[in-house]
Chains A and B, each alone.
Chain A
Amino acid sequence: QITLKESGPTLVKPTQTLTLTCTFSGFSLSTSGVGVGWLRQSPGKAPEWLALIYWDGDKRYRSSLKSRLTITKDTSKNQVVLTMTNMDPVDTATYYCAHSIRGPRCSGSPCYYFDYWGQGTLVTVSS
């Protein structure tokens, strides 16, 4: 079955760079129509999508955060890494990685959705 797990620091200081790793099993990120995304959820708020990397290496970023985000994949290790620079207290949230799949008879980003999520990791930004 598909599982994902996030790992990384629980506390970062303002202006530091956050690096999170998503380790997954049950699927291959080299399979056509598959992606892995990162989302976050601040306490009491709705989830917010951050980035997604597709099976073919293509990447998508939330435009408002694009300058701060980098997503990469290591297919051999079944890992996806997200880095976010210049962290601020408003970035305090639970960060999730999620498996994304493309629906049938459909192409392009709108056809992908998040069907399996990791348990999430809480990242606090504070000095």
Chain B
Amino acid sequence: QSVLSQPPSASATPGQRVTISCSGSGSNIGSNFVYWYQQLPGTAPKLLIYRNTERPSGVPDRFSGSKSGSSASLAISGLRSEDEADYYCSVWDDSLGGLWMFGGGTKLTVL
């Protein structure tokens, strides 16, 4: 069980907006930047959001990140079939000597 809690699954129809949450604590999300990764089947994770809200070059503006207190969210608007993937939040945790943590992941299904 991950220190960062994500819903195991989410689903929506094309064109809709979906939000994926990531809940942590003061030693991780509460005090450090949050990152989001997209993992398509059989591929490596791809950075989607960095420093809570920033998008790397090439990531569509349909993807957006937010953070409030010890929780963060990834929103995907105008959902497309190719968005079907696993999504992971990640953050540095100051406890246990410091380490990068990942949430348990959310499997997004586009109905």
Are these two chains actual partners, yes or no?
Answer: yes
B46 on the A face (CB < 8 A): yes
A117 and B99: CB pair below 8 A? no
Are B56 and A119 touching (Cβ within 8 A)?
no
Whether A49 lies near B33 (C-beta < 8 A) is no
The tally of CB-CB contacts under 8 A between chains A and B is 63
Contacts of A49 in B (CB 8 A): 99-102
Task: Check B24 for interface membership: any CB of A closer than 8 A.
Answer: no
Q: For the complex, is A26 an interface residue (Cβ under 8 Å from B)?
A: no
Chain A contact residues, CB within 8 Å of chain B: 37, 45-49, 52, 60, 62-64, 96, 103, 109-120
A52-B100, A117-B45 are known; give 14 further A-B pairs, CB within 8 A. Answer: A45-B105, A46-B105, A103-B33, A110-B92, A110-B94, A111-B33, A113-B35, A113-B50, A114-B35, A114-B45, A114-B90, A115-B47, A118-B44, A119-B43
